[in-house]
Structure 1
């Protein structure tokens, strides 16, 4: 006897499937999508959605890295200004 389950994976969220109800050790290996007649289009759409999510996360990480670099750049500019001021002061003393 097969039981009905709902997929929770990123590629097939909400898609229903059937599988053997016995424990893994004793099951017959039966497994089938409930909507197998839909073909690959829904799988392809979900795959593209997943790829978009990954690309969006990468873009957010790059933005964070860029902001970190900008902060470091600004801190280095301040240090340089301080060193130039100190150097000007020391030169003017001599």
Structure 2
């Protein structure tokens, strides 16, 4: 796809909020609307103009929503597991660093 056709697609799907800013194009992750794309004002909630619109006018098929929600649940479980393993590895690295510092100090003492 050429760069100009990408630009024209972006212009075709671009939306402006009531503030006149380019609206964010995001994906919903709620169980009811998982996978649906929508536009919203890019400003924080307290200063937002409240612009919000679905990109598509209909909900995804129930099976697609089920698959997306299931995969999101599995991803969330994997993120928890990854964080747990990261903490374990970080602890092992710290213990190894501490051991090396002790050995280094002992070697300095022996060589002195």
- TM-score (ref. length: structure 1): 0.54
The match for 1:86 is 106
Between Structure 1 and Structure 2, the one with more helix by share is: 1
How far off its partner does 1:46 sit? 1.3
Partner of residue 78 from structure 2, selected from 58, 61, 64: 58
- TM-score (ref. length: structure 2): 0.45
Total equivalences in the alignment: 53
The match for 1:13 is none
| 1:20-65 deviation line (CA, Å, top 9, x unaligned) | xxxxxxxxxxxxxxxxxxxx81121111100000011111111111
Partner Cα distance (2:107, 2:75) in 1: 47
Structure 1 unmatched runs, 5+: 1-39
Structure 2 unmatched runs, 5+: 1-59
Partner of residue 74 from structure 1, selected from 90, 94, 110: 94
Partner Cα distance (2:104, 2:64) in 1: 59
Select the structure of larger CA radius of gyration.
1
The match for 1:10 is none
